[in-house]
Amino acid sequence: MDVHVFVDGAAFPNPGRGAYAAIVRVGDTERVIVQGYQLTTNNRMELRGVIAALESLEHPSRVRVVSDSTYVVLGIGWTKKWRARGWRKSDGKDVLNVDLWQRLVRVCRDHNVEFEWTRGHSGHTENERCDVLAAKCALEGDLILDEGYRGSGGSCNVSASGAAYMASWLALAHPGCTRRRASWSLRRAHLICLMASTPWGCEGAARRTKTT
């Protein structure tokens, strides 16, 4: 069975609130997988998107993964050397996000996976869709803890400028976004900023800004 996977991840700021989106396409059928996290990094979201897509497959498959992340597309080719060195890079430093790299290696064993890089924001239809879905989820989705991230448990510290930028970008990028919705998204972004600065932290802010 041939499967096409398109993935993108985002974090605002980086590290900060984040999410991934993956489109899994088999023939004329596709499904979308989206998940957001309270505090994470862009690279972890790129990795988690690929992992989620591959782990969703019920049978061994030939899979082409399309991503705009050179970290993922190049990194998967370095994993054999990293593993041989005890998950250390050539300079002797520990590989970052080793929990996700090990998980990706394991799930790739169940399939015949090829990775293809595409330039981000270049008009690639599925990549642009994933980009918008990930950013929207990071802003408005139900966010969970990114277990394995060393920075987990702290405040997301969303800056007002960062949240406002994210909301404004979504207003321009999302095809169905009207001026009225864009204005509400911007106000919601500032509300998130205020809540994130309270003792509730990022988790409280996420819990109090669920979409309807």
115-136 residue pLDDT tens: 999 999 999 999 999 999 999 9
Active-site entry in 36, 68, 75, 140: 68
142 a catalytic residue: no
146-165 pLDDT, tens per residue?
999 986 554 444 444 455 55
4 a catalytic residue: no
Q: Compute the distance between CA of residue 210 and CA of residue 199 in angstroms, rounded to an integer.
A: 19
- Give residue 166's pLDDT: 55
28 a catalytic residue: no
Q: Compute the distance between CA of residue 173 and CA of residue 194 in angstroms, rounded to an integer.
A: 25
Q: Compute the distance between CA of residue 204 and CA of residue 212 in angstroms, rounded to an integer.
A: 17
Active-site entry in 2, 55, 94, 121: 121
pTM: 0.76
131 a catalytic residue: yes
Active-site entry in 8, 126, 146, 203: 8
- Give residue 56's pLDDT: 97
98-120 pLDDT, tens per residue?
999 999 999 999 999 999 999 99
Active-site entry in 46, 126, 128, 203: 46
Bond before 15 cis per omega within 30 degrees: yes
